[in-house]
Amino acid sequence: MQGLLDYIRINIQNWIQDGIVYVPVLLIVITIHEYAHAWTAWRLGDTTPVDTGRLSLNPLRHLDPLGTVALLLFRVGWARPVMIDFTAFKHPRRDTVLVSLAGPASNFATAIVAYLLLLLVRSSPAIVTQFPYVYRVLESLVEFSVGLGVFNLLPIPPLDGSKAFFALFFKRPERFLYDRAVDLYGTVILLALLWFNIIGGVMDKVLGFIFYTLLRL
């Protein structure tokens, strides 16, 4: 009985320690991602992100409660999508691609900045020893940013890659971009691919290559 209690206590402690690192990292990564969508759309002439309160760095404006819980528990979740008015753009196809890719691009930019800071911290063993939390946050920020950026490039609704794909290759992309039925069917397909670890296998290879390259650098 005592062994079981010790096991539960250790797991709770580990969960809390991981949460202290992962929660702020997730807030940063998700907020930057969604803000990038909103800011890009606004700069290209769509005021919808402003009207709906999404042109903000306040994480609460972007979080979906259920999606956040899923992200914390299963490392797969979602934020509230930024609503975009396709017809507000001067160049609908081009601008839709730019807005769609702005989120993943912001994640890669975040990863680069966090990686440079991580290299700076690693150059001084004393800093790593004295501030292990900072080191873990930067390390997780690189991992989550790259992971979210790559995942969202998949051309499966409702991910960002699908919107860029529709805008580039479909004659009337507006029929698919913000259709809830398309997003619903895409979500079912996405969950099935995740369940059978097809996406997981692809992501592992891609992320493994990226992190291996970063380590060599």
Residue from 34, 139, 143, 174 carrying the catalytic annotation: 34
Residues β-bridged to residue 79: 63
63 to 26, 37, 56, 77, 128: CA distances (angstroms)? 10, 14, 12, 10, 31
Residues 6+ apart with CB under 8 A from 22: 72, 140, 144
Helix axes 132-152, 2-43, angle to 10 degrees: 60
**Who's near 98: CB < 8 A, 6+ residues apart?**
40, 44
Task: Judge whether 143 counts as a catalytic residue.
Answer: no
**Residue 27 and residue 60: Cα distance in Å, rounded?**
9
* Identity at 72, one-letter amino acid code: L
Q: Fill in the amino acid letter for 45.
A: G
Q: CA nearest 113: which of 146, 91, 136, 66?
A: 146
Tokens of 191: 């969950």
Q: How far apart are CA 86 and CA 108, in angstroms?
A: 25
Q: Which residues are identified as catalytic?
A: 34
